[in-house]
């Protein structure tokens, strides 16, 4: 018996279609994954076995051969778990035939939950451009893929939820895409009063914060003419500003004296 499920992965900034071919034969029980899988993909057979068991499904008895095509491309990551599990369930007759243009991407936890994977925005954009009708992916990636229109995206929390959906026992709602144009229009019309910084009120009441450039200029002028009109230049500054300016002058005098001693 043979079945074929479609999934996809990312190669750099591009998406790559992966055909998951699964064969079940009467032989010693086990799972063999071929097609240049890396260590994470090879370990998927243990995750899938435990996930099927915890989800209430019996693991088939016999030798299961999983081929990830094209076989000349190295398969990396954990996003193939969901497609392999769905293929095994379809091979054993638990799942009926469904839309051929369907993708399954996601990592399976041992208890049957679907964990998030990376690169799903790229995969969804590629699927839409290449005529795919729907895609099943982790619920945690819902916000990311909501930017894509023209594709039925189903964000599921567990393998059992996807099985019930494909069996027409429980429906998973399609991810509603975000209207970016309307979103930016709302931001443009957002009241400016709510965008003011928290210290804007304090700056209006405090002359030291309301016009820092004026205070800085007054400090520079008073420092340059300290011997003649120090007090007159700082009549509009606060006591705190005067203390800071005097302290700066004393520090400068102290530095000049020390510098003269060093030069001598």
Block mean pLDDT (10 aa), the chain, length 264: 94 93 92 95 95 95 95 94 96 89 97 96 96 96 93 97 95 90 69 53 51 53 50 51 59 50 39
Q: What is the pTM of this model?
A: 0.70
141 closest CA partner among 162, 159, 123, 160: 123
For residue 165, the tally of other CB atoms under 10 A from its CB is 17
The pLDDT value recorded for residue 31 is 93
| Helix 226-233, helix 212-224: angle, nearest 10 | 150
The pLDDT value recorded for residue 12 is 84
Q: What is the CATH number of domain 2-179?
A: 3.30.230.10
State how far the Cα of 199 lies from the Cα of 196, in Å rounded to an integer. 8
The pLDDT value recorded for residue 154 is 98
Contact by Cβ (8 Å): 92, 61:
no
Q: Beta partners for 31?
A: 64
- Token readout for 18 is 């992966």
136 closest CA partner among 105, 169, 90: 105
The pLDDT value recorded for residue 236 is 47
HSE toward the beta carbon, residue 174, CA cutoff 13 A: 13
45 closest CA partner among 21, 19, 75, 78: 78
Phi-psi region of 151 (alpha: psi -120 to 50; beta: other; left: phi over 0): beta
Domain boundaries, the chain: 2-179, 196-263
- Name the 3-class secondary structure at 1: coil
End-to-end CA distance of the chain: 98
The pLDDT value recorded for residue 214 is 55
**DSSP code at position 115:** E
- Name the 3-class secondary structure at 197: coil
């Amino acid at each position: 018996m043979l079945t074929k499920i479609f999934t996809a992965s990312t190669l750099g900034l591009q998406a790559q279609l992966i055909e998951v071919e699964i064969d079940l034969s009467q032989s010693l029980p086990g799972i063999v994954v071929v097609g240049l899988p890396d260590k994470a993909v090879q370990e998927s057979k243990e995750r899938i076995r435990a996930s099927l068991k915890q989800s209430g499904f019996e693991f088939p008895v016999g030798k299961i051969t999983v081929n990830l095509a094209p076989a000349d491309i190295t398969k990396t990551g954990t996003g193939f778990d969901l497609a392999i599990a769905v293929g095994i369930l379809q091979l054993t007759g638990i799942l009926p035939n469904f839309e051929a243009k369907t993708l399954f991407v996601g990592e399976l936890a041992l208890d049957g939950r679907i964990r998030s994977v990376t690169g799903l925005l790229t995969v969804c954009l590629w699927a839409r451009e290449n005529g795919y009708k729907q895609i099943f992916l982790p619920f945690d990636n819902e916000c990311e893929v909501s930017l894509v229109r023209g594709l039925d995206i189903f964000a599921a929390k567990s393998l059992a939820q996807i099985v019930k959906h494909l069996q027409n026992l429980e429906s998973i709602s399609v991810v509603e895409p975000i209207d970016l144009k309307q979103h930016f229009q709302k931001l443009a019309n957002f009241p400016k009063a709510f965008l003011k910084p928290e210290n804007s009120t304090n700056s209006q009441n405090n002359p030291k914060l309301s016009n820092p450039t004026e205070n800085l200029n007054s400090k520079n002028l008073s420092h340059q003419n300290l011997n003649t009109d120090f007090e007159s230049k700082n009549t509009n500054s606060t006591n705190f500003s005067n203390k800071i300016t005097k302290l700066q002058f004393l520090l400068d005098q102290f530095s000049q004296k020390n510098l003269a001693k060093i030069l001598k």
